[in-house]
Amino acid sequence: MSITNKSSPDNTNTAAETTPEKIAILGTGVAAMTSAFYLTDQPSWKEKYDITVYQMGWRAGGKGASGCNAEYGERIEEHGLHIWFGFYENAFKTIQETYKLLNRPEGAPLRTWEDAFKPHSFIALEEYIDKKWETWPINFPTNNLVPGTSERSANLWELLPAAYSWINEAIDELEPHLVSNSGNHIEKWLTKLSKEIGKDLKSINHATLHLKGLIDSLPKQTKNHDSGIINDIFMLFKAFNKLKNLLPIILDPILNDLPGVRRLFIIVDLGLTIITGMIEDNVFTKGFDVINNYDYKQWLIKHGANKKYTANSAAVIGFYDLAFAYVDGNEKKPNIEAGTMLRSFLKISLEFRGAIMWKMQAGMGDAIFAPFYQALKERGVKFEFFHKVEELIPEGNTVSTIKLTKQVNLKADIEEYNPLVEVYGHGSIEGEPPLDCWPSKPNYGQIDPIQAELLQEHDINLESFWSNWGKVYKEHTSKTLPEIILKKGVDFDKIIFGISVASLPHLCPKLLEKSEPLRLTTEKIKTVVTQAYQVWNNVTLEGLGWSHNPKADPTAQPVLSSFVEPFDTWACMDQLLCREDWPTAHQPKNIAYFCNVMPVDLFPPASDSSFPAKCYDTVKKNAMKNLTDDIYNIWPEVAKKGAFNWDILVDIHNQQGEARFDSQFWRANIDPSERYVQSVVDSTQYRLATDGSGFDNLYLTGDWIKTGLNVGCVEAATMAGMQTSRAICGHPETIHGEKDSN
């Protein structure tokens, strides 16, 4: 085996105290790149730090990596569906600063963050009623706020008026149905409530307005809430709980037949259950984590949510789908902490700025990670691609050694790998510069020709945990891939571990033996495999038969969830058509992304290189079954039960029938570093702080550490990276939303 030490073995760390600390960042996901961004966010950073990023394979991005496939019109191929929520304050702030640093010229594609992100407000949920699917379209309101500019998180009591406004609006719309179907139920409820609060209430609307007035008059700070105010609110909500229990009795005869009434009922029932449950369980004073010993659905039922309509509604299932909250990828085993889910639910629905969602206008790799990479390179951060981390070795309470494999050599005349390619989008204006993008395959022209030929001949995936590249290389060259040994005090002083939690048993077994907290976080923080597929269609969204767009925005592109397994989530991604560069004869008119969890019974050892192909074959079968058996429910013009019109799929090879699907894209996210991080019941307590590994020079970062959000998403990963930088250098001092503000 060829072993390379990055420095001379007799070199000792005798440099002056002013020598910059060497920081090795392992991985290039959102958290790793964010930590590098804030470490270098001060003018004098080079005097303090010498930063090198090590990345397996040819591209940055972790679970958010994407690639442009030159063979298929530079189409964008993602790990799954990536859309930012409007409450992502830290993520937006960071990417806004990144785009400022790029300072792209006028006329350049994605010149500013406003070019890279566009607000999105239309969401659809699928309800399974009487053995058929019904679409629940929801066009969320917008506001004039700008994400990334908020100075502080909303106080939980400040969220109460916003939450109640949704309930109040739904009750107002329900009142005619309640009055016409209630007999004397409502009259009795009003009489009793009037006596309890000492006010003559004439109608449901009169009662809801009284409660709204009480809520609106609340002091914004918890310390200013006297027991009388809180008791008044509690008593009123108890009274509304009684109304909530009356609603299904009054409305049951019409709930199945009138979707609008059913959905209003779910909103009222869910909203009142959440607020009364938060009051009863002291969430407003103790924070969300106090109820993390319950699963979200279990907690809702505990506080009286209607089992038939609400607890199993699309409004609840959709959030489980969003968080891939199914143990082992089994949709019959939903599991997520009630507090963690509620925190996310309220932030998503009540704290958004501009719009509830923001869609990227290019692949995530090109809208996020190319700007990150270019900005950090310009600042002076070094990147070592094709460096696969093999193991971290401890010595006492420090990490003394990092073992890596150098996957490829560059051509003799190339000193540094350039990972990006230039892509001209469809319909680019003459003279418009291209967009720098990540390719879906390495830039083989920069790699040693013998290795490049072998990689392509054997279709080697250098990003795969199950890659057989080392074996193929040895069979053809009689050599082993070189091992690189990094030593503490010589090649690094501190380590930022930016690789996801499921990789710990493989890369840090000796660390787990020494650190009980690290071992527990590995065992208790669960991950799940996800699957995704993308299809490019030669008909428009309307041509597919989709007919549920809101009247206010007939051109909206739906984001849909709570649909049928094995793919419960679909998004129309037509905004990407202009960024791809298909031949004119094959220009798509619609792009559809699908994703979901994927059950995997057993993960074989890394030596079983056949495993990825088996999983990819499973995803292909699942996707084709989805199109054949289920898609007719939402695409009725191109499918019927048991049949799909394969001719609508764009195929530059002009195959016929089902064979056209071979030209689409699908993947199974099976690697330890790309599995989705879950928030199963009682797991938050085992999440570690960035400096909580038990080793004095090891910093953990990723959406799996304790961020305060504690759920898998870009915002949590950004917060983790900011926390890592702060633990090392003190910057940034403030991180939005890392504590529940009560």
**Of residues 526 and 14, more confidently modeled:** 526
What is the structure's pLDDT at 18? 78
> Could you tell me the two tokens for 166?
């949704």
pLDDT at 591: 98
Residue 705 in this model has a pLDDT that exceeds 50: yes
pLDDT at 108 over 90: yes
List pLDDT tens digits, range 123-152: 999 999 999 999 999 999 999 999 999 988
- Determine what percent of the chain is predicted with pLDDT higher than 90: 81
Mean pLDDT along residues 164-177: 90
Kindly report, residue by residue over 198-248, the tens digit of the pLDDT.
889 888 888 888 888 878 877 766 666 666 676 777 777 778 888 888 899
Q: Return the pLDDT at 224.
A: 66
pLDDT at 562: 98
511-562 residue pLDDT tens: 999 999 999 999 999 999 999 999 999 999 999 999 999 888 888 999 999 9
Q: How far is CA 530 from CA 440, 671, 678, in A?
A: 19, 10, 12
| pLDDT mean over 382-402 | 98
Question: Quick one: angle between helices 185-197 and 227-255, nearest 10?
Answer: 180
Rounded to whole angstroms, how far apart are CA atoms 204 and 523?
51
DSSP state of 75: E
Interval 73-102: pLDDT, tens: 999 999 999 999 999 999 999 999 999 999
Q: Is the pLDDT of residue 14 over 50?
A: no
Mean pLDDT for 650-673 is 97
Domain ranges of the chain: 154-350, 530-669
Q: How confident is the model at residue 370 (pLDDT cuts 50, 70, 90)?
A: very high
Per-residue model confidence (pLDDT) at position 3: 47
Average pLDDT of span 697-706 = 98
Q: Which residues of 568-585 are buried (b: 16+ CB within 10 A; e: fewer)?
A: bbbbbbbebbebbbbeee
What pLDDT, on the 0 to 100 scale, is given for residue 179?
85
Taking alpha carbons only, the member of 23, 30, 94, 83 closest to residue 705 is 30
Worst-scoring range by mean pLDDT, 8-22, 281-295, 556-570, 712-726?
A: 8-22
Query: In the structure, what pLDDT confidence band is assigned to residue 10 with cuts at 50, 70 and 90?
Result: very low
The answer to whether 256 and 315 are in contact (CB under 8 A) is: no
Task: Give yes or no for residue 678 having a pLDDT over 70.
Answer: yes
Please give the pLDDT value at position 225. Answer: 65
Would the pTM count as exceeding 0.85? yes
pLDDT at res. 11: 44
- Residue predicted with more confidence, 310 or 160: 310
Mean pLDDT of 61-80: 97
Question: What pLDDT shows up at residue 119?
Answer: 97
567-604 pLDDT tens trace: 999 999 999 999 999 999 999 999 999 999 999 999 99
For the stretch 296-316, pLDDT in tens is 999 999 999 999 999 999 999
Please count the CA atoms within 13 angstroms of the CA of 190 that sit on its side-chain side: 18
Res. 326: pLDDT tops 80: yes
Q: What sign does the dihedral 325-674-494-38 (CA atoms) show?
A: negative
Q: Which of 509, 485, 643 is nearest to 4 (CA)?
A: 485
